[in-house]
Structure 1
């Protein structure tokens, strides 16, 4: 008897330019093991807040937008939350997307990279890997998790030849120290599978969600980075031969 794979989905949306190439159908998974201080989607932290869906139901929603996303050179992006918290479900969705001829992107912190099977990764065209900090104590304070699993996942993706875009959120006072950034730049500069680094300026667009959820937003008084700071950090990556935007 076959088993219907189910997962918990928070929501879905269409986006251009920030979730992978082209116009993407972005599927937000519920549940995340990290608690990043700058998280813009605290409403995706808990599995209980998601909607139970089968892979067939997810694909039915994607099919509604197939012509639009494929014409625009896009595909499907799995994000969250953390898709690898529901790795079996994520893998099943990726498999179906590949069978349907759709470009696939996995957006992950890499913290649960060990849960990604080789089969799941074989169905992934691109990984957006969020590396929150290259300084271990800062990473722990910023996320509540450990850095090592993410770095291990990055080296595994490189070994498998799976393209990566590294995402680095620039938070003044937290992730702007030059030395750890240089360390991260050297690390990713030695991984041929890394195609680019996106330096993402910290913002507070999700602050209203914290208020609605009755959660304190720890970085409420933290300013966004200046244009000069953003360009300095991009330059640190570029000096290691990495495309940075």
Structure 2
């Protein structure tokens, strides 16, 4: 039996994978994305995190199974769920044994081999921070190679993917950037959909509460309508 640390659980999520889903937010993340709206999930321990066994977690999630219907299920998100690999694997296995659809919402930045985890993952919700080494480091403060290795394993395992990309004014926007993103996504297989997420400032108050400087201070939220044309173009790849 393995134990992990959970930041929170959303019981009736509608935007983190198909159908109605329970979304489990894991504690811990190594990336320091400039636009991150959950800095309270960065620490691997987290003073308010719940310490729970995979068995107890899936037992709790199974209560919502009647609401999942034919399309819904459980999404493991974060933070970065891959940082708690053993706990994640057991939770995935138990979900599959319970007949629950599994989705992994990740930036692909964990440790070691991901093959076993992906064997029990029905869908990967892949957060593409950037598609170039320089851009990735600027956005996250980390090296692109770890995420790239994860993506390669997803390709090898033939796991379906939904791609997400946050569009930030002055950082990950503009015709040239989005055209480059589209070309990069075209090089990937098993991509079922692409979602462009407009930058927002809903998590800024958390930085103030934690006493952390906000990297994008003064950057205005992006109007979603500005992305409507590109959203269509991304999904006609």
State TM-score, norm by structure 1.
0.89
CA contact (8 A) 1:181 1:236 kept: no
Q: Following the alignment from structure 1 to structure 2, what is the Cα–Cα distance between the partners of residues 103 and 86?
A: 20
Q: Spell out the pairing of 1:97-112 with structure 2 (5 A cutoff).
A: 97-112=95-110
| 1:196 Cα deviation after fit | 0.9
The residue aligned with 2:200 is: 203
After superposition, residues 30-45 of structure 1 pair within 5 angstroms as 30-45=27-42
Contact residue 165 and residue 195 of structure 1 kept, 8 A? yes
Pick aligned residue for 1:188 from 163, 185, 189: 185
Alignment correspondent of 2:59 = 60
Query: Structure 1 residue 215 and structure 2 residue 212: aligned?
Result: yes
Q: Show CA shifts across 1:161-210 (max 9, x none).
A: 10001110000000014333322212222323011111000111111211
SS at 1:166's partner residue?
A: strand
The 8 Å contact of residues 158 and 194 in structure 1, kept in 2 or not, is answered as no
Q: Give SS of 2:108's match.
A: coil
Q: Alpha-carbon deviations, 1:133-179, whole Å to 9, x = none?
A: 12322221211112233233223212221000111000000001433
1:136–1:146: 8 Å Cα contact kept in structure 2?
yes
Q: Secondary structure at the match of 2:162?
A: strand
TM-score by length of 2: 0.92
Which segment is superposed worse, 184-193 or 85-94? 184-193
Which runs of no fewer than 5 residues in structure 2 stay unpaired? none
Question: Is the CA contact (8 Å cut-off) linking 1:98 and 1:123 kept in structure 2?
Answer: yes
CA distance in 2, matches of 1:8, 1:228: 37
Deviation at 1:61, TM superposition (A): 1.6
Partner of 1:96: 94
- Partners of 1:217 and 1:22 lie apart in 2 by 34
3-state DSSP class of the match of 1:224? coil
Moved over 4 A (4+): none
Find 2:72's aligned residue among 65, 71, 74.
74
CA RMSD of aligned residues (A): 1.8
Cα distance in 2 between the residues matched to 1:116 and 1:67: 33
Task: Say if 1:226 and 1:11 are closer, same or farther in 2 by CA, change over 3 A.
Answer: closer
Gaps of 5+ in 1: none
Cα deviations by residue, 1:54-103 (Å, 9 ceiling, x for unpaired): 112211221221212x2373100000100000111111100100010000
Paired with 1:232 and 1:152, the residues of 2 have a C-alpha distance of: 31
Q: CA deviation at 1:116?
A: 4.6
Equivalent-residue separation in structure 1 for 2:113 and 2:198 (angstroms): 28
* Aligned positions, number: 235
